[in-house]
Amino acid sequence: MDFEAFVSEIEENGWDVHGIEVYERGKLTRRWGDTDGAVYDVFSVTKTVLSIAFGMACDREKISPDDLLMKYLPREKKEKMSPAQREAFGKITLRRLLTMSVGELPFQAAGESYLDFALGCALQRPEEKTFNYSNVSAYLVGVALTEALGEDVGTFIERNLFAPLGITKFSYERCPEGYFYGASRMKLTVNELSRIGMLLCNGGVYDGRRLLSEQYVRTATSVQQMNREGGYGYFIWKYRDGFSITGKGGQRCYCLPEAGLMITYLSDMGENARALRECMERTLLEG
């Protein structure tokens, strides 16, 4: 590992990287930049946070990946759906949404009611399990989880995940109808993302306290739906021998169990996010 080379390339290229943390065997061994000061957009890292909340609800037997989405939709929303829409969406399980395997959902919801928008989408082949990365899938999981818990998902996350992890600087948003927007729009510090990663790397245990079942972590971080990137779990990407918590602009937490390594960084790289990842791999994993 050549951490200095990684930092040097970032500085030489003028890349917009906010901060980096490296953990070896569970211990913080290297850090650079702003890791615990400001919060930054983490985009689809929000989906992984939602997945953890979903797992906690599963552990409490409030919900299951095998449940149908329709079970948790508000009655007034189901009554507005056409018979064809009710039939199509009646075949969609929460597992399909968690694994992004509903092939015909659009990427983004819009309008004053994201839920009306989502449930108005035409599904011609609802049984077909095709990988299709969609914010709508995550949003619908958040709606279902809200209804299953009988409380706001954001409040549930704050109490059951953020508080035990000591995460205090976060922010997140809700949709126009008030549901936790589980697809994106969350901000965290680098260290706060590391804490979430450490929970998953440790099989659901943080600071000696079990917050999430080992079975759920194992399932959520392993391949449940294949894609060209190597596979996808429950809102978590497969990466090498481990997994990656990923945001679109270069927000990453890589867990590599064979090497006993976890690497976290937040950046605002846009289309250059791949270049940063390749630099990380060359200097930290292969150097």
| pLDDT interval class at 287 (50, 70, 90) | low
- pLDDT above 70 covers what percent of the chain? 100
Residue 102, pLDDT score = 96
CB of 261 closer than 8 Å to CB of 267: no
Cβ-contact 280, 11 below 8 angstroms: no
* 34-46 pLDDT, tens digit each: 999 999 999 999 9
The model's confidence at residue 271, banded by pLDDT at 50, 70 and 90, is: confident
Q: Which two tokens stand for residue 152?
A: 């706001």
Average pLDDT over every residue of 213-231: 97
Q: What is the pLDDT of residue 133?
A: 97
* Summary mean pLDDT of the chain: 97
What tens digit of pLDDT does each residue of 86-97 get? 999 999 999 999
The two tokens of residue 60 are 């409490």
For 10-21, how does the pLDDT look when each residue is reduced to its tens digit (9 = 90+)? 999 999 999 999
pLDDT mean over 116-143: 95
Look at residues 102, 99, 88 and name the one whose alpha carbon lies nearest to residue 130.
102
